[in-house]
Structure formats: structure tokens, C-alpha cells
Amino acid sequence: MTSDSDDDALSWDGDEGRTSKRPPREDAGRPSPVQDAAAEPSVVEPSTEAARSSDAAAPVDAESDAGVLLDDERPSLSTGMLLALGVVGGIYLLYSVGWVVGGLRLKPLANFFVADAMFLPWFVLAVAAPALWFLAGWVLTRGKATWTRLSVLLLGVVLLVPWPFVTVGAIGS
């Protein structure tokens, strides 16, 4: 069975009568990104660059695929950075537990100096501080270099040590 058409290699016998039940895609006439890259010249003319910037500023229709951020476009974290984030996150979780245990151990001593109404908000803030630092460090260093993000998180490890737990500990005297 020989054929002159290249499309015959991509179909089975008897496929001629079948029709696709899916509607045609909106980008069916557009070339693929690989074809775009091969067709574009290596030197970009200023008029082409201006047209691209105006296309980027145009509003994107909610139904089109152009507004969806694909996983391939988003930079992924390296294995080392994921490991470092897990370790630092675990340290922050232990710090929160340390603030709870240490703060509760110091509560009877603190009642001599301040009322419960003053102690409780600062206690809650101290317990939440490691989680807040982690969240703020993660969000505020978005798009920055990896070493910047990691140094901000490690600075929190140094600054947020639960001193009541370190000095008094879990075992009372």
C-alpha cells in the first residue's frame, strides 16, 4: 500500500469518514513557539520590539490560553534550596514550640511584673513571630536572588531564638 500523501503516515485506514468531536483550538492557525523561535531573526528591530511591548500591555481575554502562566515559565527551586527551606522551616516550627514552652514557664514570674492582659498579646506575637518571619521573608524576597532569600531566612533563625526556653528550659527548678 503506497501513497503520495505525507498525511497518510499519521492516520489509520478508515479514518477518512471520522470527524473530530472537539472544537478547533483558537491557536490552530498560529505557529508553535518552536517555529516562532526559528522564524525570528537574531537581531530585533526597534519597531518589532515596540509592537511586542504593546502586545504585552494589551488586556488578556479570560478564556484565552495566553493569560495562563504555565509551569514551564515559572522558575523552579533547586534541590538544595528546597532542602534549605525545609530545614529553616523546621527550625522556625521548633522556635514556635520553644516560645510556647518557655513563655508558659515564665508566666508565673511575669505575673509579678505585668498583668495577664499585657502578657498574653506579646506571648501570642512571640509564638507567631517565626511563622510571620518565614512568610514575610518568602514573600518579600520573591524574584530576588536565591542567596538573598536564604540570608533573610537565616537572619530570622539568629534573631528569633526562643530565649525563655533557652534560659529556663522545659524542666523547672
Query: Which residues in 133-170 are b (16+ Cβ under 10 Å) and which e?
Result: bbeebeeebeeeeeeebbebbeebbeebebebbeebee
pLDDT at 110: 82
Query: What range defines the domain where residue 95 resides?
Result: 79-168
Between residues 99 and 36, which one has the greater pLDDT? 99
Domain count, the chain: 1
> Is residue 78 within 8 Å of 150, Cβ to Cβ?
no
In a domain, 109, yes or no: yes
Q: Write the CA distances from 117 to 98, 107, 113, 122, 165, integer angstroms.
A: 22, 12, 12, 9, 22
Mean pLDDT of the chain: 75
The amino acid sitting at 16 is: E
Q: Is 111 among the domain residues? A: yes
Per-residue pLDDT, 161: 92
Residue 170 clears pLDDT 90, i.e. is over it: no
CA distance 23 to 105: 67
Q: How far apart are CA 125 and CA 115, in angstroms?
A: 16
In a domain, 120, yes or no: yes
CA distance 63 to 46: 31
User: Does residue 26 lie within any of the structural domains?
Assistant: no
Q: Determine the pLDDT at residue 156.
A: 94
The mean pLDDT value for 75-87 works out to: 88
Tens digits of residue pLDDT in 91-147: 999 999 999 998 888 888 888 888 888 889 999 999 999 999 999 999 999 888 889
DSSP 6: G
60 in a domain, yes or no? no
- Total residues found in the chain within this entry: 173
∠ CA 39-41-42, rounded to 5°: 130
- The proportion of the chain whose per-residue pLDDT surpasses 70, expressed as a percent, equals 55
Q: Which three cell numbers stand for residue 74?
A: 515559572
Asked if residue 53 is part of any domain, the answer here is no
Instruction: Answer whether residue 92 is part of any domain.
Output: yes
Residue 104: inside a domain:
yes
